[in-house]
Structure 1
Amino acid sequence: MATRDPAAEGAGEAPPPPPPAPEVSILVVSYNTREMTLACLASVIAETPELPHELIVLDNASADGSADAIAAAHPDIPLIRLAENIGFGRGNNRAAEAARGRYLLLLNPDTVVRDRAIERLVAFARRRPEAMIWGGRTIFADGSPNPSSAWGRLSLWSLTAFATGLSVLFPRSELTNPEGIGGWGRDTERGVDIVSGCFLLIERAFWERLGGFDPDYFMYAEEADLCHRARALGARPRCTPEAMIVHHGGASERVRTEKALRLLSGKATLIAKHWSPPAAWAGRNLYRLGVGLRALGYGLAARLTGRQRHREAAEPWAALWRRQAEWIRGYPPAGER
Protein backbone atom coordinates (compact mmCIF):
# COMPACT_ATOMS: atom_id res chain seq x y z
CA MET A 1 0.00 0.00 0.00
CA ALA A 2 1.28 3.42 -0.91
CA THR A 3 2.40 5.57 1.98
CA ARG A 4 0.49 8.80 2.44
CA ASP A 5 2.40 12.05 2.65
CA PRO A 6 0.37 14.40 4.88
CA ALA A 7 2.69 17.29 4.06
CA ALA A 8 1.93 16.93 0.38
CA GLU A 9 -1.82 16.64 0.85
CA GLY A 10 -3.60 19.95 0.53
CA ALA A 11 -0.45 21.62 -0.66
CA GLY A 12 -2.23 22.51 -3.88
CA GLU A 13 -0.68 22.91 -7.27
CA ALA A 14 2.81 24.22 -7.79
CA PRO A 15 2.98 28.00 -8.31
CA PRO A 16 3.06 29.07 -11.94
CA PRO A 17 6.48 29.76 -13.45
CA PRO A 18 7.59 33.38 -13.56
CA PRO A 19 6.80 35.23 -16.78
CA PRO A 20 9.50 35.09 -19.45
CA ALA A 21 11.98 37.93 -19.50
CA PRO A 22 11.06 40.74 -21.91
CA GLU A 23 13.06 41.23 -25.07
CA VAL A 24 13.76 44.86 -24.23
CA SER A 25 13.67 46.95 -21.06
CA ILE A 26 12.74 50.56 -21.83
CA LEU A 27 14.23 53.01 -19.34
CA VAL A 28 12.73 56.48 -18.98
CA VAL A 29 14.37 58.97 -16.58
CA SER A 30 12.08 61.94 -15.96
CA TYR A 31 12.64 65.34 -14.40
CA ASN A 32 9.94 68.02 -14.41
CA THR A 33 8.45 66.84 -17.72
CA ARG A 34 5.11 65.53 -16.44
CA GLU A 35 2.93 65.95 -19.53
CA MET A 36 5.69 64.98 -21.93
CA THR A 37 6.55 61.91 -19.88
CA LEU A 38 2.92 60.78 -19.89
CA ALA A 39 2.77 61.28 -23.67
CA CYS A 40 6.02 59.36 -24.08
CA LEU A 41 4.77 56.38 -22.05
CA ALA A 42 1.46 56.33 -23.91
CA SER A 43 3.28 56.30 -27.25
CA VAL A 44 5.53 53.43 -26.17
CA ILE A 45 2.50 51.35 -25.19
CA ALA A 46 0.58 52.19 -28.37
CA GLU A 47 3.49 51.69 -30.77
CA THR A 48 5.10 48.57 -29.29
CA PRO A 49 2.30 45.99 -29.38
CA GLU A 50 4.20 42.95 -30.64
CA LEU A 51 7.59 43.19 -28.94
CA PRO A 52 7.78 41.74 -25.41
CA HIS A 53 8.98 44.66 -23.33
CA GLU A 54 8.92 46.27 -19.92
CA LEU A 55 8.85 49.93 -19.03
CA ILE A 56 10.83 51.21 -16.05
CA VAL A 57 10.50 54.85 -15.04
CA LEU A 58 12.79 56.70 -12.66
CA ASP A 59 11.74 60.14 -11.48
CA ASN A 60 14.59 62.43 -10.46
CA ALA A 61 12.78 64.28 -7.66
CA SER A 62 10.55 66.27 -10.03
CA ALA A 63 8.78 69.26 -8.49
CA ASP A 64 5.90 69.26 -10.99
CA GLY A 65 4.01 66.21 -9.74
CA SER A 66 5.47 63.91 -12.38
CA ALA A 67 5.82 60.88 -10.12
CA ASP A 68 2.25 61.01 -8.82
CA ALA A 69 0.85 61.55 -12.32
CA ILE A 70 2.83 58.62 -13.72
CA ALA A 71 1.74 56.35 -10.87
CA ALA A 72 -1.91 57.31 -11.37
CA ALA A 73 -1.90 56.89 -15.14
CA HIS A 74 0.22 53.72 -15.24
CA PRO A 75 0.01 51.85 -11.92
CA ASP A 76 1.41 48.72 -13.60
CA ILE A 77 4.68 50.39 -14.66
CA PRO A 78 7.53 50.10 -12.13
CA LEU A 79 8.29 53.60 -10.85
CA ILE A 80 11.43 54.51 -8.93
CA ARG A 81 10.98 57.75 -6.98
CA LEU A 82 14.11 59.55 -5.89
CA ALA A 83 14.34 62.19 -3.19
CA GLU A 84 17.08 64.06 -5.05
CA ASN A 85 18.05 64.65 -8.66
CA ILE A 86 21.03 62.40 -9.33
CA GLY A 87 21.28 63.26 -13.02
CA PHE A 88 20.61 61.48 -16.29
CA GLY A 89 23.52 59.04 -16.24
CA ARG A 90 23.20 57.82 -12.68
CA GLY A 91 19.41 57.75 -13.09
CA ASN A 92 19.70 55.33 -15.99
CA ASN A 93 22.20 53.25 -14.05
CA ARG A 94 19.70 52.91 -11.22
CA ALA A 95 16.83 52.05 -13.55
CA ALA A 96 18.97 49.47 -15.37
CA GLU A 97 19.50 47.57 -12.12
CA ALA A 98 15.83 46.58 -12.21
CA ALA A 99 15.85 45.57 -15.90
CA ARG A 100 15.34 42.00 -17.08
CA GLY A 101 15.38 42.35 -20.86
CA ARG A 102 18.02 41.18 -23.29
CA TYR A 103 18.27 44.76 -24.57
CA LEU A 104 18.13 48.09 -22.77
CA LEU A 105 16.56 51.03 -24.54
CA LEU A 106 17.34 54.46 -23.13
CA LEU A 107 14.47 56.76 -24.03
CA ASN A 108 14.14 60.42 -23.10
CA PRO A 109 10.88 61.50 -21.49
CA ASP A 110 10.50 64.35 -24.01
CA THR A 111 10.07 61.94 -26.91
CA VAL A 112 7.14 60.40 -28.76
CA VAL A 113 7.49 56.99 -30.41
CA ARG A 114 6.28 56.85 -34.00
CA ASP A 115 5.36 53.97 -36.31
CA ARG A 116 6.62 51.00 -34.24
CA ALA A 117 10.01 52.69 -33.82
CA ILE A 118 11.17 50.52 -30.92
CA GLU A 119 10.23 47.32 -32.72
CA ARG A 120 12.06 48.59 -35.81
CA LEU A 121 15.16 49.48 -33.78
CA VAL A 122 15.33 46.04 -32.18
CA ALA A 123 14.90 44.44 -35.62
CA PHE A 124 17.80 46.60 -36.83
CA ALA A 125 19.94 45.42 -33.91
CA ARG A 126 19.24 41.82 -34.85
CA ARG A 127 20.30 42.51 -38.43
CA ARG A 128 23.46 44.38 -37.45
CA PRO A 129 24.66 42.72 -34.23
CA GLU A 130 28.26 43.79 -34.85
CA ALA A 131 27.35 47.42 -34.09
CA MET A 132 26.64 46.59 -30.41
CA ILE A 133 25.03 50.04 -29.92
CA TRP A 134 22.13 51.16 -32.10
CA GLY A 135 20.20 54.37 -32.66
CA GLY A 136 17.39 55.71 -34.79
CA ARG A 137 16.30 59.01 -36.27
CA THR A 138 14.86 61.97 -34.36
CA ILE A 139 12.58 64.72 -35.65
CA PHE A 140 10.94 67.76 -34.09
CA ALA A 141 7.20 67.88 -33.44
CA ASP A 142 6.62 69.71 -36.73
CA GLY A 143 8.33 66.93 -38.66
CA SER A 144 11.55 68.81 -39.38
CA PRO A 145 14.85 66.96 -38.83
CA ASN A 146 16.33 66.98 -35.35
CA PRO A 147 20.00 66.06 -35.85
CA SER A 148 20.56 65.17 -32.18
CA SER A 149 20.21 61.40 -32.73
CA ALA A 150 23.93 60.95 -33.40
CA TRP A 151 27.18 62.85 -33.15
CA GLY A 152 30.77 62.79 -34.30
CA ARG A 153 33.54 62.42 -31.79
CA LEU A 154 35.15 65.36 -30.02
CA SER A 155 38.58 66.27 -31.43
CA LEU A 156 41.00 69.16 -31.52
CA TRP A 157 39.81 69.89 -35.04
CA SER A 158 36.13 69.89 -34.05
CA LEU A 159 36.94 72.31 -31.21
CA THR A 160 38.94 74.49 -33.60
CA ALA A 161 35.90 74.59 -35.90
CA PHE A 162 33.75 75.59 -32.91
CA ALA A 163 36.17 78.22 -31.64
CA THR A 164 36.59 79.90 -35.03
CA GLY A 165 32.91 79.70 -35.92
CA LEU A 166 33.47 77.44 -38.93
CA SER A 167 30.87 74.96 -37.63
CA VAL A 168 28.30 77.79 -37.58
CA LEU A 169 29.28 79.36 -40.90
CA PHE A 170 29.37 76.04 -42.75
CA PRO A 171 27.10 73.67 -40.80
CA ARG A 172 26.36 71.40 -43.77
CA SER A 173 29.96 70.36 -44.29
CA GLU A 174 31.27 67.37 -42.36
CA LEU A 175 34.73 68.92 -42.58
CA THR A 176 33.75 72.14 -40.79
CA ASN A 177 31.01 70.60 -38.62
CA PRO A 178 32.41 67.18 -37.68
CA GLU A 179 30.60 66.82 -34.35
CA GLY A 180 27.26 67.62 -35.98
CA ILE A 181 28.14 65.29 -38.89
CA GLY A 182 27.23 68.13 -41.26
CA GLY A 183 25.71 67.11 -44.56
CA TRP A 184 24.17 63.88 -43.29
CA GLY A 185 20.40 64.24 -43.09
CA ARG A 186 19.98 61.21 -40.80
CA ASP A 187 17.87 59.69 -43.58
CA THR A 188 20.30 56.88 -44.45
CA GLU A 189 21.82 54.06 -42.42
CA ARG A 190 25.27 54.91 -41.21
CA GLY A 191 27.96 54.07 -38.68
CA VAL A 192 28.49 56.87 -36.17
CA ASP A 193 30.84 57.71 -33.33
CA ILE A 194 28.13 58.52 -30.79
CA VAL A 195 24.48 57.46 -30.50
CA SER A 196 22.46 59.96 -28.49
CA GLY A 197 21.21 58.82 -25.10
CA CYS A 198 17.73 60.04 -26.02
CA PHE A 199 17.16 56.86 -28.09
CA LEU A 200 19.94 54.36 -27.54
CA LEU A 201 19.70 50.56 -27.69
CA ILE A 202 22.34 48.28 -26.18
CA GLU A 203 22.42 44.68 -25.03
CA ARG A 204 22.11 44.54 -21.28
CA ALA A 205 25.10 42.19 -20.97
CA PHE A 206 27.28 44.68 -22.84
CA TRP A 207 25.94 47.58 -20.75
CA GLU A 208 26.89 45.67 -17.60
CA ARG A 209 30.31 44.85 -19.04
CA LEU A 210 30.85 48.60 -19.59
CA GLY A 211 29.56 49.38 -16.12
CA GLY A 212 26.80 51.58 -17.55
CA PHE A 213 27.27 55.32 -17.63
CA ASP A 214 30.22 56.85 -15.83
CA PRO A 215 28.56 58.44 -12.74
CA ASP A 216 30.84 61.48 -12.91
CA TYR A 217 28.72 62.88 -15.75
CA PHE A 218 25.68 64.57 -14.28
CA MET A 219 24.09 65.38 -17.62
CA TYR A 220 25.36 65.52 -21.23
CA ALA A 221 28.33 63.68 -22.80
CA GLU A 222 27.71 60.50 -20.80
CA GLU A 223 26.70 58.70 -24.02
CA ALA A 224 29.84 60.01 -25.75
CA ASP A 225 31.91 58.51 -22.94
CA LEU A 226 29.95 55.23 -23.13
CA CYS A 227 30.39 54.96 -26.90
CA HIS A 228 34.10 55.81 -26.60
CA ARG A 229 34.61 52.99 -24.12
CA ALA A 230 32.40 50.66 -26.17
CA ARG A 231 34.44 51.26 -29.33
CA ALA A 232 37.56 50.24 -27.43
CA LEU A 233 35.86 46.87 -26.89
CA GLY A 234 34.93 46.42 -30.55
CA ALA A 235 31.58 48.22 -30.85
CA ARG A 236 30.79 50.15 -34.01
CA PRO A 237 27.65 52.18 -33.20
CA ARG A 238 25.14 52.49 -36.02
CA CYS A 239 21.92 54.38 -36.78
CA THR A 240 18.94 53.58 -38.97
CA PRO A 241 16.32 56.01 -40.31
CA GLU A 242 13.70 53.24 -40.13
CA ALA A 243 13.22 53.80 -36.37
CA MET A 244 11.96 57.35 -35.93
CA ILE A 245 10.80 59.27 -32.87
CA VAL A 246 9.86 62.84 -32.06
CA HIS A 247 12.41 64.45 -29.74
CA HIS A 248 11.49 67.86 -28.42
CA GLY A 249 14.95 68.32 -26.89
CA GLY A 250 16.08 69.96 -23.66
CA ALA A 251 12.61 70.01 -22.11
CA SER A 252 13.94 69.61 -18.57
CA GLU A 253 16.39 72.49 -19.08
CA ARG A 254 14.30 75.65 -19.01
CA VAL A 255 17.13 78.18 -18.93
CA ARG A 256 19.37 78.32 -21.98
CA THR A 257 22.47 79.32 -20.01
CA GLU A 258 22.10 76.45 -17.55
CA LYS A 259 21.74 73.94 -20.38
CA ALA A 260 24.85 75.30 -22.11
CA LEU A 261 26.76 75.23 -18.82
CA ARG A 262 25.92 71.55 -18.30
CA LEU A 263 26.77 70.74 -21.91
CA LEU A 264 30.18 72.38 -21.65
CA SER A 265 30.76 70.70 -18.28
CA GLY A 266 30.03 67.32 -19.83
CA LYS A 267 32.36 67.90 -22.76
CA ALA A 268 35.11 69.21 -20.49
CA THR A 269 34.74 66.05 -18.40
CA LEU A 270 35.08 63.94 -21.54
CA ILE A 271 38.26 65.77 -22.49
CA ALA A 272 39.74 65.37 -19.01
CA LYS A 273 39.06 61.64 -18.96
CA HIS A 274 40.08 60.63 -22.47
CA TRP A 275 42.69 63.11 -23.75
CA SER A 276 46.34 63.54 -22.88
CA PRO A 277 47.12 66.48 -20.58
CA PRO A 278 48.51 68.66 -23.42
CA ALA A 279 45.52 67.93 -25.65
CA ALA A 280 43.12 68.54 -22.77
CA TRP A 281 44.78 71.91 -22.07
CA ALA A 282 44.40 72.86 -25.74
CA GLY A 283 40.80 71.65 -25.82
CA ARG A 284 39.79 73.66 -22.75
CA ASN A 285 41.33 76.80 -24.19
CA LEU A 286 39.61 76.28 -27.54
CA TYR A 287 36.31 76.14 -25.67
CA ARG A 288 37.28 79.29 -23.77
CA LEU A 289 38.19 81.02 -27.05
CA GLY A 290 34.92 80.02 -28.72
CA VAL A 291 32.81 81.22 -25.80
CA GLY A 292 34.77 84.47 -25.49
CA LEU A 293 34.57 85.32 -29.20
CA ARG A 294 30.81 84.72 -29.24
CA ALA A 295 30.28 86.83 -26.13
CA LEU A 296 32.38 89.61 -27.65
CA GLY A 297 30.87 89.40 -31.14
CA TYR A 298 27.22 89.30 -30.09
CA GLY A 299 27.86 91.95 -27.44
CA LEU A 300 29.37 94.33 -30.01
CA ALA A 301 26.49 93.67 -32.40
CA ALA A 302 23.99 94.42 -29.64
CA ARG A 303 25.67 97.74 -28.80
CA LEU A 304 26.03 98.80 -32.42
CA THR A 305 22.54 97.83 -33.59
CA GLY A 306 20.51 97.94 -30.39
CA ARG A 307 18.55 94.96 -31.64
CA GLN A 308 16.86 92.71 -29.14
CA ARG A 309 17.86 89.51 -30.94
CA HIS A 310 21.53 90.43 -30.62
CA ARG A 311 21.13 91.17 -26.91
CA GLU A 312 19.37 87.83 -26.41
CA ALA A 313 22.12 86.03 -28.31
CA ALA A 314 24.88 87.75 -26.32
CA GLU A 315 23.45 87.10 -22.86
CA PRO A 316 24.09 83.34 -22.51
CA TRP A 317 27.59 83.54 -23.99
CA ALA A 318 28.51 86.40 -21.68
CA ALA A 319 27.17 84.40 -18.73
CA LEU A 320 29.20 81.34 -19.78
CA TRP A 321 32.31 83.50 -20.02
CA ARG A 322 31.75 84.92 -16.53
CA ARG A 323 31.04 81.46 -15.11
CA GLN A 324 33.79 79.57 -16.87
CA ALA A 325 35.23 78.37 -13.57
CA GLU A 326 32.08 76.25 -13.20
CA TRP A 327 32.59 74.29 -16.43
CA ILE A 328 36.13 74.63 -17.70
CA ARG A 329 37.46 71.55 -15.88
CA GLY A 330 34.32 69.47 -16.09
CA TYR A 331 32.11 67.94 -13.46
CA PRO A 332 33.58 67.08 -10.08
CA PRO A 333 33.60 63.35 -9.27
CA ALA A 334 30.18 62.02 -8.32
CA GLY A 335 31.31 61.40 -4.73
CA GLU A 336 32.19 65.08 -4.29
CA ARG A 337 28.88 66.55 -5.48
Structure 2
Amino acid sequence: MSSIEMPFQGDLVLSVVSHGHGSQVRQLLADLSQVEGGLISRVVLTLNVPEPMLEALSEECFPFVLEVRRNELPLGFGRNHNRALQDVPEGYVCLLNPDVRLEDSQLFYWLAMYAAKPGVGCAYPVQVNELGVMQDSERELPTPTALWRRRVLGKKESRVDWVNAACMVLPREAWVAVGGFDERYFMYCEDVDLCLRLRQAGYSLVRAPVQIVHAGQRASRRRWDHLRWHVASLLRLWRSPAYRWACNALPASGAGAGNIGAP
Protein backbone atom coordinates (compact mmCIF):
# COMPACT_ATOMS: atom_id res chain seq x y z
CA MET A 1 0.00 0.00 0.00
CA SER A 2 3.01 2.29 0.33
CA SER A 3 3.00 2.93 -3.43
CA ILE A 4 -0.50 4.41 -3.25
CA GLU A 5 -0.81 8.17 -3.01
CA MET A 6 -3.45 8.52 -0.31
CA PRO A 7 -6.37 10.89 -0.97
CA PHE A 8 -6.57 13.62 1.64
CA GLN A 9 -9.44 15.56 3.16
CA GLY A 10 -11.31 17.77 0.74
CA ASP A 11 -9.76 16.13 -2.32
CA LEU A 12 -12.97 14.86 -3.99
CA VAL A 13 -15.56 16.75 -6.02
CA LEU A 14 -18.89 15.16 -6.97
CA SER A 15 -20.97 15.99 -10.03
CA VAL A 16 -24.71 15.23 -9.89
CA VAL A 17 -27.13 16.05 -12.70
CA SER A 18 -30.84 16.26 -11.90
CA HIS A 19 -33.54 16.10 -14.54
CA GLY A 20 -36.62 16.31 -12.35
CA HIS A 21 -35.12 14.11 -9.60
CA GLY A 22 -35.94 16.55 -6.79
CA SER A 23 -36.89 14.14 -4.01
CA GLN A 24 -34.08 11.74 -4.89
CA VAL A 25 -31.56 14.59 -4.90
CA ARG A 26 -32.62 15.63 -1.42
CA GLN A 27 -32.22 12.08 -0.16
CA LEU A 28 -28.83 11.77 -1.85
CA LEU A 29 -27.60 15.00 -0.23
CA ALA A 30 -28.75 13.67 3.13
CA ASP A 31 -26.77 10.48 2.48
CA LEU A 32 -23.71 12.48 1.43
CA SER A 33 -23.93 14.51 4.63
CA GLN A 34 -23.29 11.28 6.56
CA VAL A 35 -20.13 10.38 4.64
CA GLU A 36 -17.15 10.06 6.96
CA GLY A 37 -13.63 11.38 6.65
CA GLY A 38 -14.18 14.84 5.19
CA LEU A 39 -13.02 13.65 1.77
CA ILE A 40 -15.79 15.47 -0.13
CA SER A 41 -14.93 19.10 -0.77
CA ARG A 42 -17.72 20.06 -3.18
CA VAL A 43 -20.90 18.75 -4.73
CA VAL A 44 -21.76 20.37 -8.05
CA LEU A 45 -25.48 19.92 -8.64
CA THR A 46 -26.71 20.73 -12.14
CA LEU A 47 -30.44 21.31 -12.56
CA ASN A 48 -31.06 20.35 -16.16
CA VAL A 49 -34.68 21.53 -15.92
CA PRO A 50 -36.37 23.94 -13.47
CA GLU A 51 -37.02 22.23 -10.13
CA PRO A 52 -38.85 24.37 -7.53
CA MET A 53 -38.31 21.66 -4.91
CA LEU A 54 -34.56 22.30 -5.05
CA GLU A 55 -34.53 26.10 -5.28
CA ALA A 56 -33.81 26.61 -1.56
CA LEU A 57 -30.88 24.18 -1.41
CA SER A 58 -28.27 26.93 -1.59
CA GLU A 59 -29.60 28.32 1.69
CA GLU A 60 -29.17 25.02 3.54
CA CYS A 61 -26.05 23.87 5.39
CA PHE A 62 -24.03 20.83 4.34
CA PRO A 63 -20.62 19.53 5.44
CA PHE A 64 -19.34 20.30 1.93
CA VAL A 65 -19.68 23.18 -0.49
CA LEU A 66 -22.82 22.80 -2.59
CA GLU A 67 -22.75 24.54 -5.97
CA VAL A 68 -26.13 24.63 -7.71
CA ARG A 69 -26.08 25.31 -11.45
CA ARG A 70 -29.22 25.93 -13.50
CA ASN A 71 -29.43 25.30 -17.23
CA GLU A 72 -31.53 27.56 -19.41
CA LEU A 73 -32.04 24.63 -21.77
CA PRO A 74 -31.49 20.92 -21.07
CA LEU A 75 -28.04 19.63 -22.00
CA GLY A 76 -26.78 16.13 -22.57
CA PHE A 77 -25.48 13.88 -19.80
CA GLY A 78 -21.83 14.20 -20.79
CA ARG A 79 -21.85 17.93 -21.40
CA ASN A 80 -23.39 18.60 -17.99
CA HIS A 81 -20.70 16.59 -16.21
CA ASN A 82 -17.92 18.10 -18.32
CA ARG A 83 -19.02 21.61 -17.42
CA ALA A 84 -19.31 20.76 -13.75
CA LEU A 85 -15.83 19.22 -13.65
CA GLN A 86 -13.97 21.68 -15.85
CA ASP A 87 -10.62 22.83 -14.39
CA VAL A 88 -11.33 21.32 -10.96
CA PRO A 89 -8.61 21.74 -8.30
CA GLU A 90 -9.46 18.51 -6.49
CA GLY A 91 -7.38 15.40 -7.09
CA TYR A 92 -10.40 13.13 -7.66
CA VAL A 93 -13.71 13.55 -9.46
CA CYS A 94 -16.89 11.55 -8.98
CA LEU A 95 -19.78 11.03 -11.39
CA LEU A 96 -22.88 10.26 -9.35
CA ASN A 97 -26.47 9.66 -10.42
CA PRO A 98 -29.24 11.34 -8.40
CA ASP A 99 -31.12 8.03 -8.03
CA VAL A 100 -28.31 6.44 -6.00
CA ARG A 101 -28.61 5.65 -2.29
CA LEU A 102 -25.53 5.35 -0.10
CA GLU A 103 -25.56 2.77 2.66
CA ASP A 104 -21.86 2.88 3.57
CA SER A 105 -20.53 6.04 5.21
CA GLN A 106 -17.01 5.06 4.07
CA LEU A 107 -18.01 4.53 0.44
CA PHE A 108 -15.96 7.36 -1.01
CA TYR A 109 -12.96 6.61 1.15
CA TRP A 110 -12.73 3.15 -0.42
CA LEU A 111 -13.50 4.36 -3.92
CA ALA A 112 -10.80 7.04 -3.65
CA MET A 113 -8.37 4.51 -2.18
CA TYR A 114 -8.76 2.24 -5.20
CA ALA A 115 -8.76 5.16 -7.63
CA ALA A 116 -5.42 6.20 -6.10
CA LYS A 117 -3.70 2.96 -7.09
CA PRO A 118 -1.09 3.37 -9.83
CA GLY A 119 -2.55 3.04 -13.30
CA VAL A 120 -6.20 3.09 -12.21
CA GLY A 121 -8.43 5.34 -14.27
CA CYS A 122 -11.73 4.62 -12.53
CA ALA A 123 -12.93 2.95 -9.34
CA TYR A 124 -16.55 1.88 -9.05
CA PRO A 125 -18.77 0.05 -6.53
CA VAL A 126 -21.02 -2.96 -6.83
CA GLN A 127 -24.55 -1.86 -7.74
CA VAL A 128 -27.69 -3.46 -6.34
CA ASN A 129 -31.36 -2.53 -6.70
CA GLU A 130 -33.78 -1.73 -3.88
CA LEU A 131 -34.27 -5.47 -3.25
CA GLY A 132 -30.55 -6.09 -2.92
CA VAL A 133 -30.26 -7.87 -6.26
CA MET A 134 -27.00 -7.18 -8.08
CA GLN A 135 -27.45 -5.04 -11.19
CA ASP A 136 -25.72 -5.55 -14.52
CA SER A 137 -23.51 -2.49 -14.16
CA GLU A 138 -20.44 -4.33 -15.49
CA ARG A 139 -20.96 -5.02 -19.15
CA GLU A 140 -19.50 -6.56 -22.26
CA LEU A 141 -18.54 -4.51 -25.30
CA PRO A 142 -21.92 -3.87 -27.00
CA THR A 143 -21.22 -5.44 -30.35
CA PRO A 144 -24.26 -6.42 -32.44
CA THR A 145 -23.55 -10.06 -31.58
CA ALA A 146 -23.31 -9.36 -27.85
CA LEU A 147 -26.56 -7.37 -27.93
CA TRP A 148 -28.31 -10.22 -29.78
CA ARG A 149 -27.12 -12.73 -27.18
CA ARG A 150 -28.28 -10.47 -24.37
CA ARG A 151 -31.58 -9.11 -25.70
CA VAL A 152 -32.86 -11.99 -27.81
CA LEU A 153 -31.25 -15.10 -26.35
CA GLY A 154 -31.32 -13.81 -22.78
CA LYS A 155 -27.72 -14.82 -22.07
CA LYS A 156 -25.65 -13.09 -19.39
CA GLU A 157 -22.49 -11.13 -20.07
CA SER A 158 -19.48 -13.31 -20.85
CA ARG A 159 -16.97 -10.70 -19.69
CA VAL A 160 -16.62 -7.16 -18.38
CA ASP A 161 -15.42 -4.46 -20.77
CA TRP A 162 -17.04 -1.30 -19.36
CA VAL A 163 -19.09 -0.11 -16.39
CA ASN A 164 -21.98 2.32 -16.19
CA ALA A 165 -21.49 5.84 -14.88
CA ALA A 166 -24.01 5.77 -12.02
CA CYS A 167 -21.09 6.03 -9.58
CA MET A 168 -17.47 6.44 -10.66
CA VAL A 169 -14.44 7.98 -8.96
CA LEU A 170 -11.59 8.97 -11.27
CA PRO A 171 -8.23 10.57 -10.58
CA ARG A 172 -8.26 14.06 -12.06
CA GLU A 173 -5.22 13.06 -14.11
CA ALA A 174 -7.17 10.31 -15.89
CA TRP A 175 -10.27 12.49 -16.37
CA VAL A 176 -8.18 15.24 -17.96
CA ALA A 177 -6.08 12.82 -20.01
CA VAL A 178 -9.11 11.50 -21.91
CA GLY A 179 -10.93 14.85 -22.01
CA GLY A 180 -13.96 13.76 -20.00
CA PHE A 181 -17.07 12.65 -21.85
CA ASP A 182 -17.48 12.89 -25.61
CA GLU A 183 -20.30 15.44 -25.80
CA ARG A 184 -21.47 14.17 -29.17
CA TYR A 185 -23.33 11.50 -27.20
CA PHE A 186 -26.44 13.31 -25.97
CA MET A 187 -27.60 10.35 -23.91
CA TYR A 188 -26.59 6.66 -23.75
CA CYS A 189 -23.23 5.05 -24.56
CA GLU A 190 -21.20 7.99 -23.27
CA ASP A 191 -20.07 5.80 -20.37
CA VAL A 192 -19.15 2.98 -22.75
CA ASP A 193 -17.07 5.41 -24.78
CA LEU A 194 -15.42 6.91 -21.67
CA CYS A 195 -14.41 3.48 -20.35
CA LEU A 196 -13.02 2.38 -23.70
CA ARG A 197 -10.96 5.56 -24.05
CA LEU A 198 -9.63 5.16 -20.51
CA ARG A 199 -8.56 1.62 -21.33
CA GLN A 200 -7.10 2.69 -24.66
CA ALA A 201 -5.01 5.27 -22.78
CA GLY A 202 -3.63 2.50 -20.57
CA TYR A 203 -5.77 3.03 -17.47
CA SER A 204 -7.59 0.25 -15.66
CA LEU A 205 -11.10 0.14 -14.21
CA VAL A 206 -11.30 -1.41 -10.76
CA ARG A 207 -14.23 -2.57 -8.67
CA ALA A 208 -13.93 -1.46 -5.03
CA PRO A 209 -15.31 -3.69 -2.21
CA VAL A 210 -18.30 -1.45 -1.50
CA GLN A 211 -21.83 -1.22 -2.87
CA ILE A 212 -24.54 1.32 -3.63
CA VAL A 213 -28.27 1.04 -4.21
CA HIS A 214 -29.17 2.22 -7.70
CA ALA A 215 -32.82 2.69 -8.52
CA GLY A 216 -32.21 3.44 -12.19
CA GLN A 217 -34.75 2.42 -14.81
CA ARG A 218 -34.02 2.30 -18.52
CA ALA A 219 -36.28 4.88 -20.13
CA SER A 220 -35.31 3.58 -23.58
CA ARG A 221 -37.62 0.64 -22.92
CA ARG A 222 -40.58 2.92 -22.26
CA ARG A 223 -40.26 6.06 -24.41
CA TRP A 224 -39.68 6.39 -28.14
CA ASP A 225 -37.47 9.48 -27.86
CA HIS A 226 -35.12 7.67 -25.49
CA LEU A 227 -35.09 4.62 -27.75
CA ARG A 228 -34.17 6.87 -30.68
CA TRP A 229 -31.31 8.43 -28.68
CA HIS A 230 -30.13 4.98 -27.64
CA VAL A 231 -30.01 3.69 -31.21
CA ALA A 232 -28.30 6.88 -32.45
CA SER A 233 -25.66 6.59 -29.71
CA LEU A 234 -25.01 2.94 -30.55
CA LEU A 235 -24.48 3.84 -34.21
CA ARG A 236 -22.07 6.60 -33.21
CA LEU A 237 -20.21 4.24 -30.88
CA TRP A 238 -19.83 1.58 -33.57
CA ARG A 239 -18.23 4.18 -35.87
CA SER A 240 -15.83 5.48 -33.21
CA PRO A 241 -12.05 4.91 -33.07
CA ALA A 242 -12.39 3.73 -29.45
CA TYR A 243 -14.81 0.99 -30.47
CA ARG A 244 -12.59 -0.14 -33.34
CA TRP A 245 -9.66 -0.26 -30.94
CA ALA A 246 -11.70 -2.27 -28.42
CA CYS A 247 -12.79 -4.83 -31.02
CA ASN A 248 -9.15 -5.54 -31.78
CA ALA A 249 -7.57 -5.11 -28.35
CA LEU A 250 -10.02 -6.67 -25.89
CA PRO A 251 -10.09 -10.43 -25.36
CA ALA A 252 -12.64 -12.34 -27.39
CA SER A 253 -13.61 -14.54 -24.47
CA GLY A 254 -12.98 -15.18 -20.81
CA ALA A 255 -14.37 -14.30 -17.41
CA GLY A 256 -12.78 -10.87 -17.35
CA ALA A 257 -11.45 -8.49 -19.93
CA GLY A 258 -7.94 -7.11 -20.04
CA ASN A 259 -7.17 -4.69 -17.26
CA ILE A 260 -10.64 -4.62 -15.71
CA GLY A 261 -11.21 -6.59 -12.56
CA ALA A 262 -11.89 -6.75 -8.86
CA PRO A 263 -9.17 -5.63 -6.42
Q: For this structure pair, what is the TM-score category when the shorter chain's length is used for normalisation?
A: 0.7 to 0.9
Which residue pairs with 1:32 in the alignment? Answer: 20
Which residue pairs with 1:197 in the alignment? Answer: 165
> Contact conserved, 2:178 with 2:201, CA < 8 A, in 1?
no
Matches within 5 A, 1:34-53: 34-46=22-34, 48-53=35-40
Amino acid at match of 1:237: L
Which residue pairs with 1:233 in the alignment? Answer: 201
Q: CA RMSD of the aligned region, Å? A: 2.6
Aligned pair partner of 2:76 in 81, 87, 94: 87
Which residue pairs with 1:269 in the alignment? Answer: 236
Change (3 A) 1:98 1:267: same
Greater relative contact order (Cα < 8 A, sep 6+): 2
Q: When you count helix as a share of all residues, which structure comes out higher?
A: 1
Matched position secondary structure for 2:101: strand
Amino acid at match of 1:202: L
Which residue pairs with 1:249 in the alignment? Answer: 216
Segments of 5+ residues of structure 2 without an aligned counterpart are 1-7, 248-263
Which residue pairs with 1:124 in the alignment? Answer: 114
Matches within 5 A, 1:109-188: 109-115=98-104, 116-126=106-116, 128-148=117-137, 150-162=138-150, 165-166=152-153, 168=154, 170-171=155-156, 177-178=157-158, 181=159
> Contact conserved, 1:22 with 1:102, CA < 8 A, in 2?
no
Change (3 A) 1:119 1:125: same
Matched position secondary structure for 2:204: coil
Matched position secondary structure for 1:200: strand
Change (3 A) 1:253 1:119: farther
Q: When you count strand as a share of all residues, which structure comes out higher?
A: 2
Which residue pairs with 1:295 in the alignment? Answer: none
> Contact conserved, 1:133 with 1:195, CA < 8 A, in 2?
no
Distance in structure 2 (CA, Å) of the matches to 1:234 and 1:198: 22
Distance in structure 1 (CA, Å) of the matches to 2:101 and 2:197: 29
Distance in structure 1 (CA, Å) of the matches to 2:50 and 2:68: 16
Segments of 5+ residues of structure 1 without an aligned counterpart are 1-19, 172-176, 182-191, 280-337
Aligned pair partner of 1:58 in 39, 45, 48: 45
Distance in structure 2 (CA, Å) of the matches to 1:136 and 1:256: 29
Change (3 A) 1:61 1:199: closer
> Contact conserved, 1:140 with 1:248, CA < 8 A, in 2?
yes
> Contact conserved, 1:32 with 1:66, CA < 8 A, in 2?
no
**TM-score, length of structure 1 as denominator length:** 0.62
Change (3 A) 1:27 1:74: farther
> Contact conserved, 2:39 with 2:109, CA < 8 A, in 1?
no
